[in-house]
Amino acid sequence: MSIETLTSAVRNIPDFPIPGIQFKDITTLFQSASHLKELSEILYERYKNKGITKVVGIESRGFFMGPAVATRLGAGFVPIRKPGKLPYKVIEETYTKEYGEDIIQIHEDALTKEDVVLLHDDLLATGGTMAAAYNLVKKLGVKKIYINFLIELEELNGMKHFPKDVEVSSVIKF
């Protein structure tokens, strides 16, 4: 299988969730056992020698591949969620998305200064969500952060939000 095969399996949904947005539906990737296996293999190969101790997935589509990759890497999984979803003490970050403002939270004790973190989400568009997640993880004082997306919308230039010394990668680029 190839990146081109995975790319062609992504379904476009026009005007979702609001008019003018071309939504990239990745559920089609997860419905296929071979596509799912290929994604898992690509992510494992990319991060297997990085010393990852925690994979941090962003609600909600970062929860699809995040735990699977964490299991393959022998790492823990930490969720970043919207307000009111985490039961313990949290820290939070407010950010602007392409169609509004939002808040995300993480448990204040989810990560330590010894953790090497892979921050994972499904899509890099304008970068606001991951930039907020990066800021949250950074506040917890981890050793190193890697950032990964399944899909990157290159024309929206979301990469500009991340420091040059942080390795940021995506599997599929549109």
State the catalytic residues: 61, 98
Token pair of 76 as six digits: 């823990």
- Span 4-56, pLDDT tens digits: 999 999 999 999 988 988 999 999 999 999 999 999 999 999 999 999 999 99
Give dist(CA 86, CA 101) in Å, integer: 20
| Residue 145 β-bridge partners | 117
Burial of 12 (0-12, 13-18, 19+ CB in 10 A): exposed
Per-residue confidence (pLDDT) for residue 87, from 0 to 100: 97
Cα-based distances in Å from 45 to 38, 39, 41, 173: 11, 10, 6, 18
How many helices (H) and strands (E) the chain has is answered by 5, 9
Residue recorded with tokens 């790492």: 75
Element (H, E) at 23: strand 22-25
Per-residue confidence (pLDDT) for residue 99, from 0 to 100: 67
Per-residue confidence (pLDDT) for residue 127, from 0 to 100: 92
- Asked whether the predicted pLDDT for residue 1 surpasses 80, the reply is no
- Span 109-159, pLDDT tens digits: 999 999 999 999 999 998 999 999 999 999 999 999 999 999 999 999 999
Per-residue confidence (pLDDT) for residue 98, from 0 to 100: 63
Give dist(CA 8, CA 6) in Å, integer: 6
Topology, domain 49-173: Rossmann fold (3.40.50)
- Span 80-122, pLDDT tens digits: 999 999 999 999 999 987 667 899 999 999 999 999 999 999 9
- Answer yes or no: are the C-beta atoms of 76 and 114 closer than 8 Å: no
